Amino acid sequence: MQLKLLGLNYKSATVDIREKISFPSYNSLISGLKTLFSIVEPDEAIIISTCNRTEVICVNPKKDIIEFFSYIANIPKESMRKFTYYFEDIQVAKHLFIVASSLDSLVVGESQILSQIKDAQEVASTNKFSGLILNHLISQAIRVGKRVRTETQIGKGNLSVATVAIELANSIFGSIEKKKILVVGAGKMSKLFLKTLKNHGVSNIFISNRSKEKGIEISNEFNGKFLDFEKRFEILNEVDIVLSSTGSCDYIFPFDLVKKSTSKRAESLFMIDIAIPRDIDPKVNNLENVFLYNIDDLTKVVEKNRNKRLKEVPRVEEIIEEELKLFNHWCYLNKIIPTISRIRIGAEKIRKAEVEKTLSKLEGKLSEKEIEQIDAMTKAIVKKILHNPTVQLKRHINDKNLENIINITELLFNLNSDSLLPDFGKHKESK
């Protein structure tokens, strides 16, 4: 089994590169996975895509994952490679556990990454893109994240990209309590914005969303005023702050329309865009009365809070190492399971054949109860015969010569029929 990961994040690539390889919606993620399978041809795969990272994990890929990145971003492979990082096998698990623990997040200790990993797993698993290997790996990564948040204080204070964005707004205005604020989008990040705004005592909030039904629902939840999506430009002359986080693939605030809508403003407009791809045309920052911040600009604010949480890192790293040993053990066990299964399947076929042969010679001479006793007895004999080989194989799970031990075992038991191997989660197109 080959486990490979290729990714890029806020440390390896700027937002203008990251947005070229992002999958902000369910449909775009499904489309991305289908394209990945057609180009890279893995047995299993999953894509984790957030505003700060896109990571692709594959089991037994036949092609280099960089080909997928290059195709999606429309950037030559060698140029694309300098923005990415790469891990193989057990290092894939280690990196994913670090990500799930939030140590690799822009905001160390934030909890959103865990739900984003869960969402990625649900999409991949439901649509048969992931199987035994990745489902186990992702489930263990989620367990790492939960342990870190319950066994350490790294998440204390519930910092997130949303809270950092609001902190940035506070640092500029002194206080945002009496400011008029427009929140665009109705997803998880927008809800975090609204929750944080409420905690800061902000009451004058407008909420706009492409889906009117969802926009009204979230407006009622947070006592905001719903604004039709088409009217988002009209209100730019009134509000002080715009917080935008949608799944749009195009700018929802293009330069020309923002310029026209803000031309008569007496005071400056503060805009924060944490969407990937970006919601607000970066040229908007060139307007004299508009100040635009994107996800990368939040890094400076984050650095002030990072040191408070770094003292928890040693304990987090201990948890990661503990879980890494468990995953490594599972991987070795997974190498043995197919062999043990084939031995048992082969032995059961022989047992059944011999019982049937014997019963055919004794036709009519045995009662149903006696036949059941013979069946149970032969099953017990096979179980006892196979007990020691099974135990010995499992005892050598960490042996550096495990591959040779498996090969010799398969030779001794004449396990040469591939048809006996169970299907370990290779991707099948859902019909």
What positions carry a catalytic annotation?
51
Q: Is 190 annotated as a binding-site member?
A: yes
Q: Is 52 annotated as a binding-site member?
A: yes
End-to-end CA separation in angstroms for the chain? 27
Q: How far apart are CA 320 and CA 339, in angstroms?
A: 30
Q: Is 80 annotated as a binding-site member?
A: no
* 270 to 179, 217, 225: CA distances (angstroms): 11, 26, 19
Q: How far apart are CA 47 and CA 119, in angstroms?
A: 10
Q: Is 112 annotated as a binding-site member?
A: yes
Q: Is 392 annotated as a binding-site member?
A: no
Q: Is 111 annotated as a binding-site member?
A: yes
Q: Is 185 annotated as a binding-site member?
A: yes
Q: Is 124 annotated as a binding-site member?
A: no
Residue 4 has φ and ψ, to the nearest 5°, of -135, 145
**What kind and span of H or E run contains 45?**
strand 44-49
Written as one letter, the residue type at 336 is I
Q: Is 102 annotated as a binding-site member?
A: no
Q: How far apart are CA 239 and CA 206, in angstroms?
A: 9
Which of 85, 87, 14 lies closest to 51, judged by CA? 14
Q: How far apart are CA 310 and CA 154, in angstroms?
A: 8
Q: Is 110 annotated as a binding-site member?
A: yes
Q: Please, how many CA atoms are within 13 Å of residue 339, restricted to the half-sphere of its CB?
A: 25
Sign of the Cα pseudo-torsion (189, 191, 192, 196, in order)? positive
Q: Is 143 annotated as a binding-site member?
A: no
Q: Is 105 annotated as a binding-site member?
A: yes
Which of 37, 45, 60 lies closest to 7, judged by CA? 45
Instruction: Give the annotated binding-site residues for substrate.
Output: 50-53, 105, 110-112, 116
**Residues in the annotated binding site for NADP(+):** 185-190
- Which residues belong to the annotated binding site? 50-53, 105, 110-112, 116, 185-190
